[in-house]
Structure 1
Amino acid sequence: MDTYTVLLVDDEEEVIQVIMRKINWEGLGFSVIGYANNGVKALEMVEEFQPDVVMTDIKMPYMDGMELAGHIKADYPATKLLLFTGFDEFEYAKEAVHLEVEEYILKPVNSVELTNVFTQLKIKLDQEIGEKRNAESLKKYYMDSLPLLQANFYATLLEGRIREEELDRYLSDYQISLSGPFFCCLVIHTSSSQIPEDMNPLLLAASVEKQAKEYLGEKWRARCFSYLGKTILIAQLSGENEMSELTDDSDRFCRYAHRIIGANVTVGIGQVCGSILELSQSYSSAREAISYRVLYGTSRAINIQEIAPHERNNPGSSHEGELSHLFKTIRLNEPPEIAQAVHEYLGSISFKEKSLQQHHLDVMELLSEFCRFAANNDIVLGELSKDMGKLYGRVLDMGPDTLEKWLVNISVSLHEKLLNARTKSTKSFVEKAKDYVHNNYVNEELSLDRICEVLGVSNSYFSTIFKKETGKSFIGYLTDYRMDRASRLLLETNEKSYIIGKKVGYTDPNYFSYVFKRRFGVSPSKYRTEYRESEK
């Protein structure tokens, strides 16, 4: 049982002594911590002991009871106030309703009345303390549960199940700050087939999540959580132009995770969005980016906007899942897998009880989605660009085997068109980089960062594609081109070496000589001399 403290205040000490003797304080659940004979002393004791109850007379020297009550209510609002007064002061005291006094007790003090007052006061204090403790307990439970509530909110957000009118309430209730103004979803995939010895897969995944929070969390104001067995990050960006930097940071994280904990990590980076409610689309595209690891490799970051800027589709049929799988196979796999996917798709929409009308609707829906897929990926396929009415009629007349064979041929053709478009896009991308080198090699500031900024891509993606197409790193290609230009200038002009060095992007003559000798095995001056002597 709680015991509450009482401070007695009266300028007549004999009154206080009578009150202390007449009341069974301990039995009522109270203890008197002391007494004061004026308001000033009483206020000092309140500041020191902060009693639960102050029982004070009104008429006192230096500071009367009304003024004392005012100070206590202002600075210690939880303290309960009891006023005992003479009959002639009673109406005056009653006027001070703003002081929220618990009880007014007329002198002389009656022990029975006072016992009743403190009995009721004890019940009230117990109730208030109980409610306060219960509220604190609930608050603690809520705060302990907050990380889980936040993770559930993020998952619901990714699933697109948050309504706009609910968003602010959720953010406030779950103490979430997502100020953006741009957002991007990252999906972190940890390979389950390449796990360090003596490492539990669950512990490895937990370790990757912890490292991701530390490596990417602060800079990108990222919210990190687990969803469907993968680590998800919601990154916040100041502008869309930060996507390349985010991709490079994610790529470095993949290498860091492999080096530190031996995890084979791939980060899929979704499309950037300007609204929290669009994060479901960013998440979907991040998952799609992860799929491209079969083409671009693992242990790296894959930005969907870099690898597949035109490869978008949004099938809206009643067989959406099956079509999504088929189109994904067309994009990523080889003809045998495509044929199998076509077979599975046709099996999923085929059932004996289906009416002829339903069959016609399914076939028309299928053709519509294929035409949409081709259009969304900027593919012109003669078979799908003919008169659609005639095409519908021809396909509707096909038997199951003929339809499957036709659909396999169309799907493989789309796959080849996509592959050619991707290769063409990649080559065009590399040619732009080469052209930029040819026109700007004189600039000593030309670097990997600069060319990526010009092309609007991340360092990691550019480096991978450039090396794959040319067999050289970008810096290696730039250096070789500069050295080739320098060697021609040495043979075709009489300019000094340091002048030629400046003309090919080297302001430090010593460094130019070092790079030139590393390439040709001799210094620039000796290279010129040996060539001219051989010409004599």
Structure 2
Amino acid sequence: MNLLLVDDEESVVNALAIRIPWEELGISNVYKCYSGNEAWELFQSTPIDLVISDIRMPGIDGLELIRRIRSIKARSKCILLTGFAEFDYAKEALKAQVLEYLLKPVSDEELMAAVKRLIAQLQEEWQEISSMQRASYTLRQHLPLLRSNLLNDLLYGKNITSELSDKLQLLDIPYRFGDRFSMLMIRMEGNLLNYSKESMHLFEYAVCNMIEEIMDNEFDLWHGKDHHEYLTILLKPKNTGDPGKLHLSTERIVELKAEELQHNVEHYLKGNISILLSTWAEFPQEVPEIYESMLHEMRKLIRGKFGIFKTINTSPEMIRIQSLRSLYEPPLLTHLIEAGRFEDASFKLSAIVSELFGSWGNSIEHINEVYYFLLSSFYYLSHKSGKQIADVIGEPSLELDMNARRSPDQFCRWAEGLLHLFQREMENEKLTTNTSIINRVQQFVEERLADDVSLQAIAEHVYLNPGYLSKLYKLETGENISDYLYRLRMDKSAYYLKNTHLKIQEICERIGYQNTSYFIKMFKKHYHVTPQDYRNG
């Protein structure tokens, strides 16, 4: 747990940091700030759980600091240290806040007791939020969406791993490896297309309810909506269902139920649906192939002709020549590289090459499809960054002859080699970009030193998030922006004191301090002498 101490009296902050046995209270890190401005900047870049702050400080005072803190992190706990004259004012101002406020001078025991109360309150709140009961309730609330998302992953060939069984069990989906399943694909048609998107969602929900009402006794259903706005349903015969009792095959029962669904949609929802039904397949490995075949057939259905029902032969021998799934499924290789996700890009390349030579290794057309797709991707990435491809890859040849393309090892080395070169180029470019950002920050601060330069204003100038900018600056320079600003002001004030006849008040204005007393205190803290002694020395 992290604690922030804030007071413009350096001795007060340092004493509290050293005197109180924070570790015994469960505090692992104690941060110190000597102004509200410095504390606000730190809070935006560092996770803080507890704040102990004085009220009266130049710039951002304690009340304003806590108001800002609670505006972005409502569960942060705050203690205000108040003087006697401010006590009633602070008490009134904080009525609506769940905070502690202590009257100065505060004893160690009193402060520790207040911290313990807030820590207990904070732990209780987060334990309630993260409790298994609440997590279970949240899971139930979002179960339909989570089930639909997992189904979509399977349709596109994702999540077919050993972890799938755990996910199926967690989401209470009664499907297991090796189960026989059939797929329904439904297209909303007719009058249903005249409604708004919000109304369409209600109709889709109604259709899914109808499916469950009609088929739930005989089949375990798993439904969702794919990226093409088609309702997609997996059907698995229930063990308790015995189609023999009705002297009908399972296939015929599904067909009758699907026809009943079409009838009910037309009669009760005053609309139409077309339905495609697949032949039986094995779960989960055949889900992507079945879906691809169904999607191909759905695209062939004539728009404007309503209420079509068709059973599609999706057996393996009927699957046609097709493109590689891993090549085009999102995220594309170019998107991963642009995002700097090079480890994921490497996995993506491996998946593409594995699918290519595992399924289409004897097809020159498929080999060329992948080769020219990758070639085009690398040209695109170069040109988007404003460079020629030769500027990125250097001397090595970009192209691969046909014999090398036929070899899985050579093809993979070629693709991985280009990926590595692009990674190196982007990392070098990132270093250059970071240096440019630091220079722009420092130039902006120096030009506006007389103003109250805030982290937000600096971040807006370089078009970055304040928290990210603060971390980037610290990573690249080894100091916080506030430290740089403070050091720059001290350096400038020392220069003015030694090389000009400006008055102390005028120097304060030039370096951005509005309060002369505060400047003198900060100058003495830095140089261990007053500004006047420094000038006279």
TM-score (norm 1): 0.38
Q: Which has the larger radius of gyration?
A: 1
Relative contact order (alpha carbons < 8 A, sep ≥ 6): 1 or 2 greater? 2
- TM-score, with normalisation over the residues of structure 2? 0.37
